[in-house]
Structure 1
Amino acid sequence: MKFQSIFLLLSVFFISLNTSAQNPSPDFKIVGYYPTNAAMKADTSTVPFNKLTHINLAFVNPDGSGNFNQDFEALAPFIKAAHRKNVKVLYSIAGGGFHPLIKKDKRPELIEELLSKVLEYGADGIDVDLEWGYTLGPLGMSTSLSFPSVDPSYSEPDPNYGPFIMELARALKSHNKLITAALPSRLAKEVTREVLSQFDFINIMSYDNHDLRRPDRPGNHSSYVDAMNDLDYYRNTLNLPKEKLILGVPFYGRGFGPGLNDPIIGYMNYNDIVSTYAGAEWVDHWHLPNGYIMYYNGIPTIKNKTELAKKEVGGIMIWELLYDAPHGKKSLLNAIYETAH
């Protein structure tokens, strides 16, 4: 009997270890964006569901008339595979084409269509990734940021954003579905706390702080200091609860020329960076052969940001999963998961 008791205790212990290795703690979210077209044809056995809590399919957008023409049936195997691993899947909507669709006369039809697609195909909710022109002016101007060269007439966010969020949240929550958002590091004052409170959680886009709009300001577009400042803004200026906030990290880099105002070369995904330059995973920038500098987040910074998120907010968000190094010690997702657990 004593032997059986010991055996039972050991069995429970090892089962517990195995379970914790398979799925992240529900208290700390690891949210990853995954391209919709890739999800339609993905070999789901290669998707790292066991290191994630939520996947946002980017993107599921209507055409100009509000019709959704995606092959939702093709997404069903991906969603079912995620659910088998206890991972929630949301449809993410984004882009400038929503301005006419969220006006008062069109809004009910859009919300009805979104809810219908969620319910019919087993998704867990909607992620609203409407940023510039919705929560800030079209060129990223807000009451908190200063872009002297920007025409002030572009500074107003879309007044229909708030009513759209309120009504979409009401529709989704009536079916116990999630509504989340991806939002930039600063918001216009017109985006009220009442609107923000509708989201189950908010993915803070703590990246692109040095980008195409400012070639005169080269530097890391997503530094650790940026992360601290962005979390401070959402927690202490907007006074939002920590459990509703998710720190966004980039799995890509942005390149700047060797001199001020030199052309910007766009971005390079993390996997290409570390596949091309040996040792690049251990630093946050790399001097390219043409004199340009590529700025990104290497493993040490990703680990430090994960520790920061564990302390200050409710999780980590990734843009995007397919940019990661796929296996082993170079993987940023592995670094996040191991640090989180």
Structure 2
Amino acid sequence: MYKKKIMKNIKLFFQLICFSLMLTGCSKTPVKAATPEIKKEEPQKEDPNRFKVIGYLFAGGDLLAASAKIDLSKITHLNIAFINPDASGVFAPVAGLAELVKKAHQHQVKVIAAIAGGNPPQYLKEMLKSDRRKILIDGLMQLTRTYNLDGIDVDLEGDFVNENYEAFVVDLSAALKKESKLMTAAVATWNSAAYSDKAIVLFDLINIMSYDQTGPWRKDKPGPHSTYEAAEIDFNHWNVSRAIPAERLILGLPFYAYGFGTDIPESLTYGEIVLRYPGAEKLDIWELPGKGTFYYNGWPTIKKKLSYALQKKAGGVMIWQLLGDAQGDLSLLNSIHRALNN
């Protein structure tokens, strides 16, 4: 009897120990340490009521160094033009882009990679086709993740807006929306019929390239390439004829001049024009007797286009391109900023 009692007490003792171990979490299965969460920057939603000032910046060279010439506090979106893959769909590293994105985000400026352009690599046409489209879109999505970009600007022009354009835009839109990224476009009114309704409705913002009505490629037709009247016609086309809401339309402004003549450059930036010819900022035409004539937009015309965009409740204005501006009091960007904040 005594022996049985001892055995019973021993058994009870071990049961208590096991119970105690269970309560303290001890077991054969080890407890894993919590994996620290990587804090990701949440994409900001596009405010339809905010008037946008979108500027393009060339992708060549060191972007961070180039951005030192731009007052980021005076723009809302920065489009990097152009970032294209190689023929296999691989995007090469872009010097200074990661640092530029960080700097821009500190100023609440969204950074978007613009693809294609006016003279894109021809193999991009092949990458729009169904058998290679996914490679291109996957590459673009990885590009946005690598550099923490806010979206992609589709700047396919001319015959690149072909039978594969709509399917590419539909698929890219779906991929970007999953990650709350923007999809914007640069469009030319002369090519409007090529952009299907199904494609055009998917863009968050549409940059109207209201310039280049003529240029050095049309030496037989010298004259203004970006008039105020053309801006009205272009905006009305996309807003009324194509039924795109005004708040999604961005009116393009040129920061450059075209020259027609026997002894002048074919093109100059606005900054170069006003630096060479004092008073040129007040005009749209600068004639050099016996040599030729420059056509561009001076401040009066830029101001008039800005007022029109505001009157029409447009989404904003777009600048091609930021490094074409002048500095100080002659800067068009500074003038735009003052006009919007007075």
TM-score of the superposed pair, with normalisation by structure 1: 0.81
Q: Secondary structure at the match of 2:216?
A: coil
Q: What is the CA–CA distance in structure 1 between the aligned matches of 2:268 and 2:155, rounded to whole Å?
A: 22
Given the alignment of the two structures, is residue 110 of structure 1 paired with residue 136 of structure 2, yes or no? yes
Given the alignment of the two structures, is residue 159 of structure 1 paired with residue 160 of structure 2, yes or no? no
Could you say what the CA RMSD is over the residues aligned between the two structures, in angstroms?
A: 2.0
1:128-143 pair list within 5 angstroms:
128-135=154-161
Q: Secondary structure at the match of 2:56?
A: strand
Aligned residue among 44, 58, 63 for 2:81: 58
Deviation at 1:86, TM superposition (A): 0.3
**Which position in structure 1 is the counterpart of 2:114?**
92
Residues 47-100 of structure 1, C-alpha deviation per residue, up to 9 Å, x if partnerless?
A: 31110000000111111222111336x311110000000000000101143101
Deviation at 1:244, TM superposition (A): 0.7
CA contact under 8 A between 2:216 and 2:259: conserved in structure 1?
no
Given the alignment of the two structures, is residue 269 of structure 1 paired with residue 269 of structure 2, yes or no? yes
**Which position in structure 2 is the counterpart of 1:314?**
315
- AA aligned to 1:49 is L
Q: What is the CA–CA distance in structure 2 between the aligned matches of 1:275 and 1:43, rounded to whole Å?
A: 20
Aligned residue among 41, 46, 59 for 1:36: 59
Q: Secondary structure at the match of 1:303?
A: helix
Given the alignment of the two structures, is residue 120 of structure 1 paired with residue 146 of structure 2, yes or no? yes
CA contact under 8 A between 1:215 and 1:263: conserved in structure 2?
no
**Which position in structure 2 is the counterpart of 1:9?**
none
**Which position in structure 1 is the counterpart of 2:31?**
none
Aligned residue among 48, 52, 55 for 2:71: 48
Given the alignment of the two structures, is residue 200 of structure 1 paired with residue 204 of structure 2, yes or no? yes
Q: What is the CA–CA distance in structure 2 between the aligned matches of 1:112 and 1:25, rounded to whole Å?
A: 28
**Which position in structure 1 is the counterpart of 2:286?**
286
C-alpha change, 1:308 and 1:256, in structure 2 (3 Å) is: same
C-alpha change, 1:208 and 1:316, in structure 2 (3 Å) is: same
CA contact under 8 A between 2:49 and 2:247: conserved in structure 1?
no
CA contact under 8 A between 1:307 and 1:339: conserved in structure 2?
no
In the alignment of these two chains, the number of paired residues is 290
Residues 13-72 of structure 1, C-alpha deviation per residue, up to 9 Å, x if partnerless?
A: xxxxxxxxxxx9961000000112355341655431110000000111111222111336
Aligned residue among 97, 105, 115 for 1:75: 97
- AA aligned to 1:178 is L
Deviation at 1:117, TM superposition (A): 1.0
C-alpha change, 1:228 and 1:43, in structure 2 (3 Å) is: closer
CA contact under 8 A between 1:269 and 1:324: conserved in structure 2?
yes
Q: What is the CA–CA distance in structure 2 between the aligned matches of 1:326 and 1:218, rounded to whole Å?
A: 28
Q: What is the CA–CA distance in structure 2 between the aligned matches of 1:305 and 1:195, rounded to whole Å?
A: 27
Q: What is the CA–CA distance in structure 2 between the aligned matches of 1:172 and 1:67, rounded to whole Å?
A: 18
- AA aligned to 2:166 is G
Q: What is the CA–CA distance in structure 2 between the aligned matches of 1:223 and 1:70, rounded to whole Å?
A: 38
Q: What is the CA–CA distance in structure 2 between the aligned matches of 1:202 and 1:25, rounded to whole Å?
A: 13
Q: What is the CA–CA distance in structure 2 between the aligned matches of 1:25 and 1:332, rounded to whole Å?
A: 24
Aligned residue among 174, 183, 190 for 1:186: 190
Q: What is the CA–CA distance in structure 2 between the aligned matches of 1:273 and 1:169, rounded to whole Å?
A: 40
C-alpha change, 1:87 and 1:285, in structure 2 (3 Å) is: same
- AA aligned to 1:337 is H
Long gaps (5+) in structure 1: 1-23, 136-157
Q: What is the CA–CA distance in structure 1 between the aligned matches of 2:209 and 2:145, rounded to whole Å?
A: 28
Q: What is the CA–CA distance in structure 1 between the aligned matches of 2:169 and 2:219, rounded to whole Å?
A: 34
Q: Point out the structure with max Rg over C-alpha.
A: 2
TM-score of the superposed pair, with normalisation by structure 2: 0.80
C-alpha change, 1:132 and 1:212, in structure 2 (3 Å) is: farther
CA contact under 8 A between 1:212 and 1:264: conserved in structure 2?
no
**Which position in structure 2 is the counterpart of 1:326?**
327
Identity %: 41
